[in-house]
Structure formats: structure tokens, C-alpha cells
Amino acid sequence: MELIEPTFNMKESDIRRLKAVLLYILKRMPKDSRDVYHIVKTAFFAQKNHLVQYGIPMYNDEIVALQFGPVPSLVYNVLKVARGESAPYKFCDDKLLARLSAPIDFQDEIFSTNEDPDMDCLSRSSVECLDAAIDQVSKMGFGELKHETHGSEWSRAFNNDGSHRMEEVNIAKENGASEEMLDYLSRSMELDKMMNDKCS
């Protein structure tokens, strides 16, 4: 199954934040867990936890349901480019992928970086969710991660004939967000969409 073309807009602050998230994971993740599967799952778990606990996305990326679980689509494409593969998805231009993948090295199936993340781009809540995700995911194997991420929202999106995009509100709800947090998340997502539509 191919990754479905996402529809989000990237501002400069979004790009810098996503780069900081990736570099933070690469700097903090144990070496034996820095394969593509563990990195995308760490990014997903951090995003999921941030949605549940704080009612807003930690970074701007669309989560799509692929065979082996949820995948942040842009994170996945950046890692593909970093390991020398082409990223055939039209939603993101080559310059952006090159910019995000430039500080990432790939050797013997392991990703690494010599560049430190820009900590000004990461809030305390982001660091908290990233640290928790790194700790959790680095201790899990492929099968355990696959089982842990194949919930009802993954199933709904994966079996959809159109887009395989997972909805942030559904991810948060499935993972225990309070009604107040879900309401806050819904309203903030609607506001973001309205603002993006005005700027398009």
C-alpha cells in the first residue's frame, strides 16, 4: 500500500519544529532502536500522547494507516530520503525533503545525526512526550509495536477506500483523552483549518 498524499500546509515554524522532533529522537533513542520502524513509531507515540494530554498536535504531520501501523507521513518520507530512496509523494517538494533529511545519516540500517535539535522549537510538553515515547518504544519489538498501534482508528483509516488518514480527534479519543480535551482539540483543529483556508 502506498502512502496517501497528505493535504496539510507547512509553515517555517512547522518545518523547524518537525526537524527538532526528528533530531531529538535521533539524539536520545538508543542506537539499536534507531531503525525506520522504531523512529516513526516514536514520532507517532509522542504525537498521540501530546494529543491526549494537551489537546494539540506536537508537530504538523498527517498520520496515515499503513499495513504495519500508523505512520507520520512526512517523517516517513524524510527517513526514506535520508536512506537514499526517492520519496514519490507529491505533497512535499524535493527541497523540503532535502532540507529535513540533510542532517540525518544512515548506515547499516541505523539512522544517526551529529546535529543537535533546536530546543527553542520544542516546548516542555513536547520534550515530556518525546522522552516518554522514546522510553516506551525503545523497549518494544516489532510485533509488540504493531499490536499496540492497530486500534480502531487505525482499522477505520486502513480499510477506507479513499484516504488512509487517521483523524487526530479519533486518535486522542481512542487513547483516553477526556471529553474536555477532545472538545478543545476539535475546536483548535477547526480553527487551524479555517486559518489555513484563509491563507491559501
pLDDT in tens, 6-28: 445 678 899 999 999 999 999 99
Position with higher pLDDT, 81 vs 3: 81
Total number of domains constituting the chain: 1
d(CA 113, CA 131): 18
Task: For residue 174, give its domain range.
Answer: 12-199
Compute the distance between CA of residue 56 and CA of residue 79 in angstroms, rounded to an integer.
Answer: 24
> Whole-angstrom Cα distance, residue 190 to residue 194?
6
Q: Which cell numbers hold the place of 44?
A: 507517532
For position 163, what pLDDT does the model report?
83
- Does residue 132 contact residue 110 with C-beta atoms inside 8 Å? no
* pLDDT tens digits along 178-199: 999 999 999 988 887 776 665 5
Considering only CA atoms, which of 121, 137, 169 is closest in space to residue 69?
137
Share of the chain above pLDDT 90, in %: 74
Asked whether residue 45 is domain-assigned, the answer is yes
